[in-house]
Amino acid sequence: MNRFALPMAVFVALVVVLAIGIRHSPQKGIILSPLIGKPAPPFSLPNLEDAAHAVASRDLKGRWYVLNVWGTWCAECRAEHQMLLEARDAHAVPLIGLDWKDDDARAREWLAQLGNPYEAVALDHSGNTAVDYGVYGAPESFLISDQGIVVYKYVGPLTREVWTKEILPRLPAHAAAKS
């Protein structure tokens, strides 16, 4: 046996392991959510526009929706707002806003000024719901299935590319339209 065979084999094995690691590593700085594939944490929170009716996860069961975590204090949220309006107009999946540790009046002003992409906005004053969802910075978006399962999470401002490549293909309507 060639005396270089063993070191070579070790080297090749190392290359394979690292290649797998790089290929499977998520986007740099993005932490995989342990919630993917699990039931979305339940919530029932005050509604920004309708004080009489709470926004509750159990009322959303049976429908797909995107839970978008935002706040008026969040600069990146402004960056994704245009995209959210486009998504609303495309009617592929409703957006539910989770206004994270925010001021209600400011939130209303924001939506009046920039347009309201949300079907409903839940007010998370305490931040408890955001913590349940493992949110560590706004904006974050969760795609939740009709079964109430977290299917996909995106950290950072949504872009058209993320919307068409990651969100839409996961929707059952899209799959049906394709086949």
Partner 1 sequence: MRQRRGVLQSVLVATAMAGVLLTFRAWAVDPTELPDARLQARYLALTHELRCMQCQNETLADSPVDLAADLRREVRDLLLQGKSDDEVRAWMVARYGDFILFRPRFSPRTAWLWLAPGVALLIGAAVCWRIVRGRTALVDADSDPVGDDGPVQGTRG
Shortest distance in whole angstroms from residue 140 CB to partner 1:
11
Report the alpha-carbon distance of residue 110 to residue 102 in Å, rounded.
Answer: 11
Window contacting partner 1 (CB under 8 A); options: 89-97, 105-113, 124-132, 143-151: 124-132
> What's the angle, vertex CA 93, arms to CA 87 and CA 97, rounded to 5?
75
* 34 binding partner 1? (CB under 8 A): yes
* 62 binding partner 1? (CB under 8 A): no
Please choose, from the candidates 121, 127, 145, 124, the residue with its C-alpha nearest in 3D space to the C-alpha of residue 35. 145
Please choose, from the candidates 23, 47, 22, the residue with its C-alpha nearest in 3D space to the C-alpha of residue 121. 47
Window contacting partner 1 (CB under 8 A); options: 44-52, 74-82, 126-134, 140-148: 126-134
Shortest distance in whole angstroms from residue 80 CB to partner 1:
19
Window contacting partner 1 (CB under 8 A); options: 33-41, 54-62, 83-91, 144-152: 33-41
Phi/psi-derived region of residue 127, left when phi > 0, alpha when psi is between -120 and 50, beta in every other case: left
Among 9, 16, 20, 131, binds partner 1 (CB under 8 A): 131
Structure tokens at 153: 């999470």
